[in-house]
A and B are shown apart, each in its own frame.
Chain A
Amino acid sequence: MIYVNEKEIPYTPNMTLVQVLSAAGEEADEMTLLLLNGKVMNFMHHAFEPIEDGAKIKLLHIVSGG
């Protein structure tokens, strides 16, 4: 199982990040950051990388500048 914003997504081998988010009904773009198992990642850099079973993903959307 993969967890996206606490929603459970059934795991299948070699699922990419884009596929996981699609299955969760979530959208992401260049303004989206991810917390993948607590580590910050840029969505655009990792979109087509496989996600491991048990991964916990939190989507963070930049909505304004610092």
Chain B
Amino acid sequence: MWSKLIVDMNTLSVSREPLDEDFRELGGKGLIAQYMIKNVPPQCDPLGEQNQLIFCLGIFAGTSFTTAHRLSVGGKSPLTGGIKESNVGGYAGTLLAEQGIKMIILRGLPEKEGPSLLHIDSSGKAELLDAAEYKGMGNYDLREKLAGRFGEKVATITIGSAGEMGYRSASIHVSEFGAGHPSRAAARGGLGAVMGSKGLKAIVVEKPTVRFKVEYADEGKFRETCTLVNKVIAQGAQNDPFHNIGTISTIEVTGANGILPVDNFSGKLFPAYQEVGANKFLTNLATRGGKNKLACQPGCVVQCSNCYNDANGEYLTSGFEYETIALFGPNCHISDLDSIARMDRFCDDIGVDTIEAANAIAVAMEAGKLPWGDVDATLALLSEMKEATEFGRILGDGCEAVGKHLGCKRIPVVKHQAMAGYEPRNTKGTGITYATSPMGADHTAGLTMGRAFDDAGRAAQAYASNKLQVAMCIADSMMCIFAFAHVVPVMPKLGEMMDAMYGGNYGFPRLAAMGVKTLLTERGYNKMAGMTDADDRLPEFFYKERSVATGSVFDINDYELEVLFDF
């Protein structure tokens, strides 16, 4: 039977208990929504005693289903003030599944000074250890120290100094499968600050001596169906740019279609977008000993990850993704891929969300704090977060904090969270998702990029956003969304897998119902936290300023946004 670890930071104690029967069939995003609504007061202080931080596995954890071991992290967000689920690849999910631990729940606040470390050893014993020696350390040094102490094969979940200092853009970092770099981030919503507030610097998971075995209602049926679905995903991945190139390939589409944000979402085109595009990336990988087609977790068939080296062939960063490149690149008028990689590495090391940091820099550029496209000034400003200067602390609190501090009128946030790398005037369905997602402006909540949607009119855009937001709630409860995209031809098979694992004969409607319930629960939580319809809007400038690239404004009206979830 699956277990949960309850980590009480008041008493510095850890207990291992059977997973609640209510949560047996849930995983990932769906599990976090149901746990939060029952256990975490919506009006609590995100960095206070009553908030909890939850790590949990997906519905098919412990099986051979591809990408089943993505790790979801949840809690009340110090950035949005609402519910937050942020999920991440890496190796920790796999080892937690092998340990038979489906959830880790952090409660309370510590009385003692200095951080702790949660260690789960190969026998399954979990205990809190003093981690004072790691205080203030960046994720890269910390990973190296932990690997030196507990072994190279451990999985680590860590925060950098940003999480310890309570920055509202602080991320949580998971080590990659293989090389172990701490470059996979549960980045959005400031959950790293929640971990910091609990006084937990790291979780170290060892490979267990005895591997946990999952229970199935019908193991033979599950294995047969899972093998087929894995095969379909693997076939689909062969023609997926994310597998063949990496997520940077998205630049080639967004840059050509006015969807790539440029100069703080000005709506302009960026003619030099290919300087930060796929061919430059592939050339740099080939000439410097970098790699793509890497799996961040065992068993992934999409393999979209990468290792990016500098001009001397030395490791610079990994998990170098589209969002970081788009937002530190064209959106800050920067067109040098190596410089963006250095920004990515810096943010990963101190542990902040690159989307939030890059948008904050773009807003600061617009306000005249630093010149457009100035790489050195950008790196200097980012380093202020590490030095904890007055402005560095504001920067660490994200895009909106910087915009308000500098008096900037154009701040691209929804629910206080900065936008991802898609211009909402030119992919309006995505704009609807930005506006209405309980997560805030989020690129993984239901991206509707593609002219087919926009040409089909407003109703089609709203329809696409609605359906995709439900679909992403399903995906984030069980797998990586990049693999989910290839399941479409055999979608009902996921319902058959669910039945074979948990019993019953419900088929796909069971999953669809879970997706709707998750979304409505998240919206309900936010409402109880104090959010209203007014929080489901884009910033005013998207409605008033025309995109120079296409002439479009975001013209989805309030009524269309308010009825989106009238199921």
Contacts and interface: CB of A to CB of B under 8 A. Distances in A.
A27 interface: no
B27 to A, nearest CB: 20
Interface string B470-513: 00000000000110111000000000000000000000000000
A61 B484 CA distance: 14
Contact of B322 (A33, A41, A45, A66): A66
Nearest to A65: B447
B563 interface: no
A5 B239 contact: yes
B249 interface: yes
Given A58-B244, A63-B240, A65-B422, A30 B256 contact: yes
A40 B245 contact: yes
Contact of A31 (B239, B444, B450, B482): B450
Contacts of B321: 66
A4 to B, nearest CB: 11
A42 interface: yes
A42 B415 CA distance: 34
Most chain-B CB neighbours within 10 Å: which of A5, A31, A40, A66? A66
B279 A61 contact: no
Contact of B485 (A42, A44, A64): A64
A13 to B, nearest CB: 27
A35 B292 CA distance: 15
A66 B247 contact: yes
Contacts of B322: 65-66
Contacts of A60: 239-241, 244-245, 249
Contact of A63 (B323, B422, B486): B486
Interface in B380-431: 420-422
Contact of B278 (A29, A33, A61, A65): A33
Interface in A1-48: 5, 29-31, 33, 35, 39-42, 44-45
Nearest to B304: A66
Contacts of B249: 33, 40, 60, 62, 66
Contacts of B421: 65-66
Interface in B422-454: 422, 443-444, 447, 449-452
A39 B447 CA distance: 27
A61 B243 CA distance: 11
B250 interface: yes
Interface string B241-269: 11011011110110011000000000000
A42 B279 contact: no
Contact of B452 (A29, A35, A41, A45): A29
A46 to B, nearest CB: 11
B282 interface: yes
A64 B256 contact: no
A5 B236 CA distance: 13
A59 B444 CA distance: 24
B424 to A, nearest CB: 13
Contacts of B443: 65-66
A40 B247 CA distance: 13
Given A40-B249, A42-B252, A42-B253, A59 B450 contact: no
Contacts of B74: none
Chain B interface, >50% SS class: helix
Contacts of A40: 241, 245, 249, 252, 277-279, 282
Contacts of B278: 33, 40
Nearest to B446: A65
A41 to B, nearest CB: 8
Contacts of A44: 256
A31 B240 CA distance: 11
A30 B253 contact: yes
Interface in B350-380: none
Contacts of B279: 39-40
B449 A65 contact: yes
A41 B274 CA distance: 10
A58 B239 contact: yes
Contacts of A62: 241, 249-250, 253, 449
B453 to A, nearest CB: 11
A39 B278 CA distance: 9
Contacts of A58: 239, 244
A60 B241 CA distance: 5
A42 B255 CA distance: 10
Given A42-B256, A45-B256, A66-B250, A30 B485 contact: no
Contacts of A39: 279
Nearest to A64: B485
A43 B166 CA distance: 46
Contacts of B481: 64
A38 B322 CA distance: 20
Top 3 A-B pairs, shortest CB-CB distance: A66-B322, A66-B247, A65-B447
Interface of A: 5, 29-31, 33, 35, 39-42, 44-45, 58-66
7 contacts: A30-B256, A31-B451, A41-B252, A60-B241, A65-B322, A66-B322, A66-B443
Given A39-B279, A66-B248, A66-B249, 20 more contacts: A30-B257, A30-B450, A30-B451, A31-B449, A33-B252, A40-B249, A40-B278, A40-B279, A44-B256, A45-B256, A61-B240, A63-B236, A63-B486, A64-B481, A64-B482, A65-B322, A65-B420, A65-B443, A66-B247, A66-B443
